[in-house]
């Protein structure tokens, strides 16, 4: 006898506690044995996810509760990974919308909720982190209702069930006055409010591929939901590709989910989420069906990319010294392989065989791809991110973003002024009782390039910035992007303390003494608008005279740490970021000599 099934996705703004809440559900379901060491955010299995504390890839797990199998899909909260959210929402029949009790709905809450409502899902709202001192759970519920109405939800969707929870405390409750013991109220809400999957096990097989995985033993593994029919291990099946071609193959292995493990199954029927091996060339959105009467499901559509940059072979003087994969063929193969699993990415070849135009959802989306590739041993260089313009009804348009800033009161004026120069239009301003103010803007996407560094300087590191794609609108005119000139290395060599100390009044450095540099490499930011070349490899001429100041301890200012994201935001149109497994360097494309 097959168990009743519930398929549910967990959606939320980044850092509102989705993955921690899934941890609590898994612990309560009893999938971990007594005394087993369980890491925090157990679903964030990727190394970059653990380091950054964000979910990047959608992942599946399953738990049993009251003789019902609950398939849970943990989705990313950042709009840059919206492609992951859009494709998995087709696998589920309901969703949990997690909202921070203190912050309320944020830009990505709007984004993921909009996608869920478009799919006709009726979310269960979970107000999380109610154990925090500044939590205002009822206010958060009111804000969520306003957001539902704003997004055009129907009457049934607006009459949403809601609960209060603490993922860290491991409890949920229907009323704030109740004592929070465990996650049972949330499990009960899932059983009660999420409808069982629709699908006929007697019809012809239809399974849509929504996620791809790889195993050294089984090859490509496709994960998806069975919309109709029954699938058996060892049976013959057909794959209807994106072009409509039909490829026949055998199901070599069929697996279901139990906790964090995949378990082998003999067969599964409509409504189940399963992993299937045997289709080496399957891609996301394609349909596995019966070979006798193949019937394809509609392909998954995701929003188009809004930002693009050029990936090219590294041609700096230090090329090939630190990377394992450095040729244009290796770079092309890796980008094409990424297309198989990253549905929101686009890769185009250019006139040059060494350059590829890569388009994505945002700086973080492309930044994670670059970081992943450099960890795999790739060495390459990337250009400044550029927004993608589009023609709508015969009029040139550009992408606009919905931006929310949370800043200290004393920084409000400078933030509003700076965003005005970047063509931002303020929509709302709310003064909090804790000395902080929340500002809401609509701003062209190009006006946000490089703004994160500016807001950090204006708020002394205390500003919080969140944004998500809004829509395409007519061009808004010139955006004022101010930035000082850069300090450029004059020759190849090793930077010295002596030379850097002498040039310290010229600006701030991105490097430390002892760093290997080459002609044209950017080593710092000038205090003035012009670019300036410096000889930072100059050494002190030694004499047999002792200086009177020789005993004084001389120190350099701390350098600015150029992380990958910061470098991508910082570079200008004539500059590149050189990415290797060991280093991130900034350099000029066609360097102009600037005399001192």
- pLDDT, residue 383, reads 92
Buried b / exposed e over 390-421, threshold 16 CB at 10 Å, is: eeeeeeebbbbbbbbbbbbeebbeebbebbee
- pLDDT, residue 299, reads 79
Kindly write down the DSSP assignment for every residue of 260-325, as one continuous string. Answer: TEEEE-SEEETT-EEEEE--TT--TT-EEE-SSS--PPPPP--PPP-EEEEEEE--STTTTSS-SB
Structure tokens that stand for 504 in this block:
């310290």
| Residue 46 DSSP label | S
Could you give the CA distance from residue 450 to residue 385 in angstroms, rounded to a whole number? 10
- pLDDT, residue 67, reads 82
Domain boundaries, the chain: 5-193, 206-289, 390-474, 486-542+554-571+584-588
The sign of the torsion formed by the CA atoms of 201, 202, 208, 213 equals positive
- pLDDT, residue 1, reads 44
Among 32-41, 185-194, 202-211, the range scoring the smallest mean pLDDT is 32-41
Structure tokens that stand for 204 in this block:
């012809």
pLDDT (tens digit, 9 = 90+) per residue, 67-102? 888 888 877 655 555 556 767 777 888 888 888 888
pLDDT (tens digit, 9 = 90+) per residue, 507-560? 889 988 889 999 999 999 988 888 889 888 888 776 666 555 554 556 777 888
| Residue 107 DSSP label | H
Q: CB of 460 within 8 A of CB of 407?
A: no
3 state SS of 446? helix
- pLDDT, residue 181, reads 80
Find the angle CA(40)-CA(344)-CA(443) to the nearest 5 degrees.
Answer: 90
Domain 390-474 has CATH 3.30.70.240: yes
Instruction: Just give the CATH number of 206-289.
Output: 2.40.30.10
Structure tokens that stand for 266 in this block:
């003999």
Residue 180: pLDDT band with limits 50, 70, 90: confident
Pick the CATH number of 5-193 from 3.30.70.580, 1.10.486.10, 3.40.50.300, 3.40.1080.10: 3.40.50.300
Q: What is the mean pLDDT of the chain?
A: 81
pLDDT (tens digit, 9 = 90+) per residue, 272-305? 888 888 888 787 788 888 888 888 888 776 667 8
- pLDDT, residue 554, reads 66
pTM of the model: 0.72
Q: CB of 125 within 8 A of CB of 144?
A: yes
pLDDT (tens digit, 9 = 90+) per residue, 359-389? 987 777 888 889 889 999 999 999 988 888 8
Instruction: Just give the CATH number of 486-542+554-571+584-588.
Output: 2.40.50.250
Residue 43 has pLDDT above 50, yes or no: no
Show binding-site residues for GTP: 15-20, 128-131
pLDDT (tens digit, 9 = 90+) per residue, 206-238? 888 887 777 777 777 888 888 888 888 888 888
Structure tokens that stand for 198 in this block:
């629709």
Show binding-site residues: 15-20, 128-131
Could you give the CA distance from residue 229 to residue 207 in angstroms, rounded to a whole number? 9
């Amino acid at each position: 006898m097959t168990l009743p099934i519930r398929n549910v996705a967990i959606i939320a703004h980044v850092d509102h506690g989705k993955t921690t809440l899934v941890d609590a559900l898994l612990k309560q379901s009893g999938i971990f044995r007594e005394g087993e060491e369980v890491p925090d955010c157990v679903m964030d299995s990727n190394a970059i996810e653990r380091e950054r504390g964000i979910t990047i890839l959608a992942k599946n797990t399953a738990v049993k509760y009251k003789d019902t199998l609950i398939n849970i899909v943990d989705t990313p909260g950042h709009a840059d990974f919206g492609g992951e959210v859009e494709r998995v929402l087709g696998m589920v029949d309901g969703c949990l919308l997690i909202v921070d009790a203190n912050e309320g709905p944020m830009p990505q809450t709007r984004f993921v909720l909009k996608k869920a409502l478009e799919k006709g899902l009726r979310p269960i709202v979970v107000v999380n982190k109610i154990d925090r001192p500044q939590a205002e759970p009822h206010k958060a519920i009111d804000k969520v209702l306003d957001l539902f109405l704003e997004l055009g939800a129907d009457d049934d969707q607006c009459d949403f069930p809601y609960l209060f929870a603490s993922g860290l405390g491991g409890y949920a409750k229907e009323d704030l006055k109740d004592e929070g013991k465990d996650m049972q109220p949330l499990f009960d809400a899932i059983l009660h409010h999420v409808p069982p999957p629709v699908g006929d096990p007697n019809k012809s097989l239809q399974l849509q591929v929504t996620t791809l995985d790889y195993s050294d033993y089984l090859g490509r593994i496709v994960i998806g939901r069975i919309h109709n029919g029954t699938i058996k291990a060892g049976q013959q099946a057909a794959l209807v590709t994106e072009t409509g071609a039909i490829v026949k193959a055998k199901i070599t292995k069929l697996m279901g989910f139990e906790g964090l493990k995949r378990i082998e199954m003999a067969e599964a029927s409509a409504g189940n989420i399963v992993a299937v091996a045997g289709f080496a060339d399957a891609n996301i959105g394609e349909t596995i069906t019966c070979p006798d009467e193949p019937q394809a499901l509609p392909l998954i559509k995701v929003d188009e990319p809004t930002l693009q940059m050029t990936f090219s072979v590294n041609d700096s003087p230090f090329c090939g010294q630190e990377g394992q994969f450095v040729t244009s063929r290796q770079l092309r193969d890796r980008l094409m392989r990424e297309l198989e699993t990253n549905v929101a990415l686009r890769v185009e070849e250019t006139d040059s065989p060494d350059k590829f135009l890569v388009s994505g959802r945002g700086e973080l989306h492309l930044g994670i791809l670059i970081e992943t590739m450099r960890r795999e041993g790739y060495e390459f260089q990337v250009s400044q991110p550029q927004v993608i313009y589009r023609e709508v009804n015969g009029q040139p348009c550009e992408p606009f973003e919905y931006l929310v800033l949370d800043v200290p009161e004393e920084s409000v004026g400078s933030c509003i002024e700076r965003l005005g120069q970047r063509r931002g239009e303020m929509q709302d301003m709310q003064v909090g009782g804790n000395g902080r103010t929340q500002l809401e803007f609509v701003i062209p996407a190009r006006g946000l390039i490089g703004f994160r560094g500016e807001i950090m300087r204006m708020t002394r590191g205390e500003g919080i910035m969140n944004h998500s794609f809004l829509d395409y609108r007519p061009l808004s005119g010139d955006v004022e992007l101010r930035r000082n000139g850069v300090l450029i290395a004059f020759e190849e060599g090793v930077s010295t303390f002596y030379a850097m100390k002498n040039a310290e009044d010229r600006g701030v450095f991105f490097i430390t003494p002892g760093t290997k540099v080459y002609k044209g490499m950017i080593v710092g930011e000038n205090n003035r608008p012009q670019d300036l070349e410096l000889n930072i490899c100059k050494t002190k001429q030694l004499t047999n005279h002792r200086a009177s100041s020789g005993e004084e301890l001389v120190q350099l200012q701390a350098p600015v740490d150029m992380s990958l994201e910061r470098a991508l935001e910082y570079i200008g149109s004539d500059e590149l970021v050189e990415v290797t497994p060991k280093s991130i360097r900034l350099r000029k494309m066609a360097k102009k000599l600037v005399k001192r």
